[in-house]
Amino acid sequence: MSELQSFLINREEFADTRWEDTEVPSPGEGQVLLAIDSFALTANNITYAAFGDALQYWAFFPAPASRGILPVWGFAEVVESNCKGIETGERFYGFYPLASHLLVEPAQVSATSFTDHAEHRRPLPLIYNQYLRSSADALYEEGKEALQMLLRPLFTTSFLLDDFFADQAMFGAKNLHLTSASSKTAIGMAFCLQNNRANRDLDYEIIGLTSARNQAFVESLGCYDRVVSYDQVDAIDNTQPSAIVDFAGDGTLLRQLHSQLAPELRYSCMVGASHWDQRAGAGPGLDGPEPIMFFAPHQAEKRVGEWGGEEFQRRLSGQWRAFCAFANGWMEVDERHGREAIERTYAEVLGGDFSPRSGYVLSKLSCQ
């Protein structure tokens, strides 16, 4: 069997990376070894690094001191199983390390999924510890794995953001300002806000903020009511009650938006860090309400508790399929293979050097 290959990132300097090759672990009693087949790499993964300490993303897959293993969403196959109910050759979707293999300790094994009950993962959010059996996953479609890897985790956040804002009656805002409007999570939220508006007794406008370079693309999507480039922020209407949903993580931009919108700013929500290297620019003492970090698992747990797991999945599934049909019209899947491709793609995503239409799917480190 091949070595366990792990892509290690300097937790203080994300551009500093290296590979580590170690012996592939053998599963003990009750354990399963998964070979990671393919995974997506998006700006969302950089957000995991940017908030790796604050939101414990580095804790999922332990690494040597000062290093971290980036979490990714993808598919893996069982290569060895010492766990009843999980067979060699089965395929699972879930939260994996950017590595060739993952050793798990399955618990709550069912016809559809299992939860990794490894000791270091038990205190971490359940949504990241659950692995879905492809043969029984309601959202799985053979031949559409790329879309699932690229969009499912992002769209789940989009779905939960839309639900969170609707649950709070948009915090009284009439204008919703989404930064990094070309990012896939922002697009997903805008799609949900647009798609669900007719069924809500709420009056709101969806405003996308983006770079001049991406403005034409964002306008072409049709899910934003209005698109504004970053160099036009000072001219944004500040007479209407408003909210900010910050996917960019650019501190200077966030300060500028707060300053412009403060008189009627009702809520400021931080989600991502597309501009991770500029996230410190806001500093203390922003005008208006203090930004609050949105943590998707909290909203998911709230709704599962209120609706039940089956109803939660039903609602998510309906909007997911509609969004996939929408995304097919503009997204371009770029499949790449091997270590060098992973290094190159990571550098491109880290630097923001890619088209908003692009979706990167990477494989395959493991040789079973």
Query: What CATH number did the domain enclosing 113 receive?
Result: 3.90.180.10
Q: How many domains does the chain have?
A: 2
Nearest CA to 47 among 161, 126, 154?
A: 154
Please list, in sequence order, all residues whose beta carbon lies within 8 angstroms of the beta carbon of residue 250, skipping any fewer than 6 positions away: 179, 274, 275, 278, 279, 281
- Per-residue pLDDT, 366: 58
Residues 168 and 279 in one domain: yes
Residues 185 and 72 in one domain: no
Instruction: State which residues of the chain have pLDDT below 70.
Output: 1, 272-284, 365-368
Residues 238 and 351 in one domain: no
Single residue among 272, 297, 322 that ends a domain in this structure? 297
- Per-residue pLDDT, 277: 43
**Per-position DSSP letters for 200-265, written without gaps between them:** SS---EEEEEE-GGGHHHHHHH---SEEEEGGGGGGS--SS-EEEEE-S--HHHHHHHHHHHGGGE
Neighbours of 142 (CB within 10 A): 7
Residues 290 and 188 in one domain: yes
Note down the domain range covering 108.
4-137+332-363
Give the β-pairing of 332-337 and 358-363. parallel
Rounded to whole angstroms, the Cα distance separating 12 from 225 reads 39
Backbone angles phi, psi at 174, to 5 degrees: -100, -30
Residues 263 and 341 in one domain: no
- Per-residue pLDDT, 275: 41
- Per-residue pLDDT, 257: 96
Single residue among 270, 297, 324 that ends a domain in this structure? 297
- Per-residue pLDDT, 242: 98
The tokens describing 350, both together, are 């880290």
Residues 52 and 92 in one domain: yes
In a domain, 314, yes or no: no
Residues 173 and 42 in one domain: no
Q: pTM of the full predicted structure?
A: 0.84
Rounded to whole angstroms, the Cα distance separating 177 from 209 reads 7
The tokens describing 190, both together, are 């805008």
Q: Quick one: 280 exposed, middle or buried, by C-beta within 10 A (0-12, 13-18, 19+)? A: exposed
- Per-residue pLDDT, 1: 47
Residues 133 and 164 in one domain: no
List residues bridging with 20 in a β-sheet.
6
Residues 246 and 350 in one domain: no
How far apart are the two ends of the chain, measured CA to CA in Å? 6
Residues 128 and 191 in one domain: no
Q: What is the CATH number of the domain that holds 189?
A: 3.40.50.720
Amino acid identity of residue 81, one-letter, is: S
Coil, strand, or helix at residue 306? helix
Rounded to whole angstroms, the Cα distance separating 296 from 298 reads 5
The tokens describing 103, both together, are 């050793």
Q: Quick one: 360 exposed, middle or buried, by C-beta within 10 A (0-12, 13-18, 19+)? A: buried
- Per-residue pLDDT, 335: 95
DSSP state letter for 180: S
Amino acid identity of residue 193, one-letter, is: L
Rounded to whole angstroms, the Cα distance separating 208 from 189 reads 11
pLDDT, tens only, 310-331 = 899 889 989 999 999 999 999 9
pLDDT, tens only, 32-44 = 999 999 999 988 8
The tokens describing 263, both together, are 């008189």
